[in-house]
Amino acid sequence: MIEQALTKPNQNSKKNNHFIVEKEKHLLTVRNLKKHFIIKGIRGNNLLYALNDISFKIKHGETFGLVGESGSGKSTASRIIIQLEKATSGHVFFDGVEISKLNKQQMVQKRKDLQMVFQDPFSSLNPRMTIGKILSEPLVIFNIGNSKTRKNDVLELLDLVGLNKDFYERYPHELSGGQRQRIGIARAIALRPKFIICDEPVSALDVSVQSQILNLLEKLQCEFGITYLFIAHSLNVIRFIADTVGVMYLGKMLEIGATEELFKNPFHPYTEALISANPALNPHNRSDKKIILKGETPSPMKLPSGCFFHERCRYCQEICTKEEPPEHIFGTREVLCHFPLK
Ligand code: SF4
């Protein structure tokens, strides 16, 4: 079970770190982000509503976990934040700059500070290049150092991610899944970015390896003060790694809160159902505590009226079917619901 493997070596290590003092400032602000894709069909075009007005902020040095079922818009949000996709509308501010307004060349320079770790590192590693070449590439692109200093930098990167210097001459196909993910992480930190988006970085790995990779990400965060946006569909992984959690459903952010508070006391009916259905988070596995969600997630091409969750919500009342829920703020908790569970 993942909850057994995910044990933190030192729960206080992050709290003692000097980067914590910067946590009051926000490194990333996402405001009213919308993304609608045009889907071409035989009978004309349709719109797919992937993101429907989401807003959130991430503080310096924290890990913001984004959780939700497939199709909830997590990956679309991350691709827009890193500007691999353009938003239909809305704003993304990074380190005080509205990066959604930057041109291509300005964005290339910003990429030094914004990196990404992918779910499947194998597909993002060139099979014809040695690991040494792959890790040197960002340094070459940004004209950092010369061939000798770059080799030393790459050896240092390998050491930072727990691999020895023999890996310098190896090829991606010679590596295990966990080793490849370590290379993906090494490449992401090569330019010492401020911010890394981790898009399901452990979901393809064995449970024991997941734990090692998560601990490695935490170690690097402590060492370099990196801020993470961590995307996962596993609540256990999110609970382990995240300081703050955002729960997404059909392109909406339904709840945001500090991790432990949110897991112990969810305010949104959807968060409550997700947590109750997870045996590791509902430890006594009491069937009376288990909430079975009715039906399926509606199509993002045909969004429900009112609250997007109303067809599956056991607390639904008439107003929920007609009117969009307001956002309630309770301290650091934000909840999009007519009747929050508080
Ligand atoms: Fe349930 Fe209504 Fe809240 Fe939606 S707004 S989650 S239907 S109680």
Asked if residue 341 has its Cβ within 6 Å of ligand 1, the reply is no
Asked if residue 315 has its Cβ within 6 Å of ligand 1, the reply is yes
Tell me the pLDDT band of 288, cut-offs 50, 70 and 90: low
**Ligand 1 center to residue 262 CA distance, Å?**
17
Least Cα distance to 192 among 152, 227, 146, 143 occurs for 227
**Ligand 1 center to residue 188 CA distance, Å?**
40
Write down the pLDDT at residue 285.
Answer: 54
For residue 20, pLDDT beyond 60:
no
Write down the pLDDT at residue 193.
Answer: 96
Beta bridge partners of 40: 45
Least Cα distance to 239 among 255, 257, 259 occurs for 259
For residue 283, pLDDT beyond 90:
no
CB atoms within 10 A of CB 15: 9
Higher-confidence residue of 188 and 287: namely 188
Asked if residue 312 has its Cβ within 6 Å of ligand 1, the reply is no
Average pLDDT over residues 208-212: 91
Query: Can you tell me which atom of ligand 1 is nearest the CA of 309?
Result: 4
Residues 176, 183 contacting (CB under 8 angstroms): no
Asked if residue 316 has its Cβ within 6 Å of ligand 1, the reply is yes
Tell me the pLDDT band of 147, cut-offs 50, 70 and 90: confident
DSSP letter assigned to residue 337? -
Query: 219 Cβ partners below 8 Å, 6+ apart?
Result: none
pLDDT tens for each residue of 82-115: 999 999 999 999 998 999 899 888 898 888 999 9
- The pTM of the full predicted model, rounded to 2 decimals, is 0.89
Query: Can you tell me which atom of ligand 1 is nearest the CA of 310?
Result: 7
**Ligand 1 center to residue 324 CA distance, Å?**
9
For residue 6, pLDDT beyond 70:
no
pLDDT tens for each residue of 242-278: 999 999 999 999 999 999 999 999 999 999 999 988 7
Tell me the pLDDT band of 342, cut-offs 50, 70 and 90: confident
Residues 31, 91 contacting (CB under 8 angstroms): yes
pLDDT tens for each residue of 30-51: 999 999 999 988 888 899 999 9
Q: What is the Rg, in whole angstroms, of the alpha carbon atoms belonging to the chain? A: 21
Tell me the pLDDT band of 284, cut-offs 50, 70 and 90: low
Residues 157, 91 contacting (CB under 8 angstroms): no
* Residue 261 one-letter amino acid: E
**Ligand 1 center to residue 338 CA distance, Å?**
6
Asked if residue 252 has its Cβ within 6 Å of ligand 1, the reply is no
Q: If you average pLDDT over each of 35-39, 69-73, 203-207, which comes out highest?
A: 35-39
Whole-angstrom distance, CA of residue 258 vs CA of residue 32: 21
Whole-angstrom distance, CA of residue 334 vs CA of residue 342: 11
Query: Can you tell me which atom of ligand 1 is nearest the CA of 320?
Result: 2
For residue 15, pLDDT beyond 80:
no
Write down the pLDDT at residue 203.
Answer: 87
DSSP letter assigned to residue 278? -
Whole-angstrom distance, CA of residue 220 vs CA of residue 44: 49
Asked if residue 321 has its Cβ within 6 Å of ligand 1, the reply is no
Asked if residue 94 has its Cβ within 6 Å of ligand 1, the reply is no
